[in-house]
Structure 1
């Protein structure tokens, strides 16, 4: 007899149990109350998409994005920045020059608001136009001009003359009365003379300015003076000698530049003492102030203590090493200049190479190599050890019969406003060839080299910079020229 007939109740109960298991999915238990679905966390950052257009292939844009909490990033083309904190960001684009054409951005500045979880978009369009420059004469009949400068914002030009005078050009006129005449105490033998001047960063309040010259004993002299009650006349009796550096034997390689750095300290570029090949080994001698870049603090200068040693000078407190030294290994750094946080230092070569060194203004203790190296060439072949040396960012060969030049004249990076297409270009020349050239540096990488068609200048002695950041060229012909825009290629 079948089981369902004999035990109908038992079979029914078994069927009900099987049906219950099937209803539970075979899991054997109550699944409980369904949970709330997991939500992704809320976004806390956003993005910025930059589109840069209008530049030729291979030419980078120049765009800086800055924003909250000191954020800053430079972009060279279209790019999306992610992970940005919410807030307002500034997008500033600078002109770019390539192949003699300057590409101007539109808009030059704009803002973008970053919202968490979203992407903001900005567009920079570049349009090109050729950049050409010319030289405009601003003063003539100068007596061996060696330097030109001005206090920031001042409309006057102060032109240094090698015999010991400083002349003022105001409203296009060379004033007959010199601003200063110390010719009675200046030696002009060889390469000596009144070689440069620098205005105190606080000149508008204290009236101080500083001179670099050679005295009757052939010493290098750094001296402070101040302007008198008449702003066009200095007080020649106000002189305070800051530093006197012996320079015996030879009448060449005096150096000649002094300038205030972005840190407010005074920097001096001294030659190696002269002769050929640094016969006394001053460039590598850290117990000599010759063949060096020096850094001193003159803010509290007095007769009792004319200068102090700034914190961070690399050889301060070291026996047998001069604490004034900031960098070593120089032959004749006739001209150097600061561009924001960077230092451009040109060093005149011996027989084959001229060089420009580019470094961070805060980089102390560098050794530029002379007289072990001349540029990137070994000069002293018996001891050409390059370890620990800083080689130039840019150099050029003299060539046969000095066809390319023989003595570099370093200049400035253009930061004026009259010719936007020149922004960031470093200008230089050569005393022997009288050309006008420039390059654009990114860090220590040099590109966009160009020679400018400005006609005959003669022997270029120095460059200058006025109170608005415009650049000038000084010729041994006794002429000061201003670099201006030209419509002629």
Structure 2
């Protein structure tokens, strides 16, 4: 990218930021309601068809919360043992699209021990307050000896296939570019764990057929927007360089060959921010906000946010509103900074409200409702 093009790109982002601050004068009035608290490092939230909510706790517990906001005193039984160390643990618990008929829940979690661990996918049938007939569907290979950078986000696609994000293991970042490795990838599986025949690298020598996209660092936000047909992914950069990307099958998203971040020591990871055959992000953040969880708002309770992305931020201690206009970023705004909490997940509820989870040993599930 030329110096002129780079300057214009930064000017466009700055213009978008100014416009978002001006737009904020039409303030969105809301209240934050506590749905459940006392959660131990909650990681993700999902909704069942009857309105119940599932919240994972990183240590390996799955919590059931009723539609009225009452949390069962005991965690859901039958959750597999997880590797609970540093960033490892239980990640997502997501219902099958046909949960109303088959009762299936899909779990992503860290598995193994300090010498050999990785991201694993399993499914089980939810009966009452217990998981039955647990079946391991997939384990990321190669295993690694670092308790960090697992990815772990899940999303079902309209065709019934399931996407899983995987991290690069931190010390193994070069693996993100290797097609014979599952580290630093998004993988696509059938709902039984088998490989879809139309995956982009099926049948290619020295490539894993599970791979959907590659060149990722530690993706902890994944969202398919049914209205626009767009698949969004965000990932942690190192010291800066967090990204939101629009995923397309077979594409290379660059890590660690291209990055807008630097190593934590301040050292240069790569001299390149772009390279032939590698995708540019929709937006990036330097300094880092540490994104985790993402939703696109399609409800009626907050019309000002309609069609915009909302990204949880751990280091930023906020939800970052990313305003979109016909797929382009036109502004940003920090939300819910008054909480002063690390936001691990953000979801749009079936009731049109927004839900947030804070990440701490005394984590909280919040509901955002319009203020009268």
Q: What TM-score results when the alignment is normalised by the length of structure 2?
A: 0.84
Q: Distance in 2 between matches of 1:182 and 1:206?
A: 18
Match of 1:393 in 2: 282
Match of 2:203 among 314, 317, 320: 317
**Displacement of 1:433 after TM fit?**
2.3
Larger Rg: 1
Q: Distance in 1 between matches of 2:170 and 2:261?
A: 21
Match of 1:352 in 2: 240
Structure 1 pair 140–350 and aligned structure 2 pair: CA distance change class (3 A): same
What SS does structure 2 have at the residue aligned with 1:166? strand
Match of 2:43 in 1: 146
**Displacement of 1:136 after TM fit?**
1.8
Q: Distance in 1 between matches of 2:353 and 2:232?
A: 17
Match of 1:219 among 76, 97, 118: 118
Match of 1:210 among 106, 129, 145: 106
| Unaligned ranges ≥5, structure 1 | 1-96, 102-128, 302-306, 399-404
Match of 1:178 in 2: 75
Q: Answer yes or no: is 1:240 the counterpart of 2:126.
A: no
Q: Distance in 2 between matches of 1:406 and 1:99?
A: 22
- The answer to whether the 8 A contact 1:315-1:323 is kept is yes
What SS does structure 2 have at the residue aligned with 1:421? helix
Q: With CA pairs under 8 Å and 6+ residues apart, which has the higher RCO, 1 or 2?
A: 2
Match of 1:327 in 2: 213
Match of 1:260 in 2: 156
RMSD, aligned α-carbons? 2.6
**Displacement of 1:311 after TM fit?**
3.6
Match of 1:100 among 16, 24, 31: 24
Alpha-carbon displacement from aligned partner over 1:390-415 (angstroms, at most 9, x marks no partner): 111011111xxxxxx45222410012
Question: How many residues are aligned here?
Answer: 342
Alpha-carbon displacement from aligned partner over 1:227-265 (angstroms, at most 9, x marks no partner): 12x3xx2334x1111001243121110111112122211
**Displacement of 1:221 after TM fit?**
1.2
Structure 1 pair 234–470 and aligned structure 2 pair: CA distance change class (3 A): farther
**Displacement of 1:270 after TM fit?**
0.1
Q: Distance in 1 between matches of 2:145 and 2:206?
A: 23
Match of 2:231 in 1: 343
Q: What TM-score results when the alignment is normalised by the length of structure 1?
A: 0.65
Alpha-carbon displacement from aligned partner over 1:160-189 (angstroms, at most 9, x marks no partner): 111111111111211112234536x11111
| Unaligned ranges ≥5, structure 2 | 1-20
- The answer to whether the 8 A contact 1:358-1:444 is kept is no
Structure 1 pair 460–130 and aligned structure 2 pair: CA distance change class (3 A): closer
Alpha-carbon displacement from aligned partner over 1:60-108 (angstroms, at most 9, x marks no partner): xxxxxxxxxxxxxxxxxxxxxxxxxxxxxxxxxxxxx98137xxxxxxx
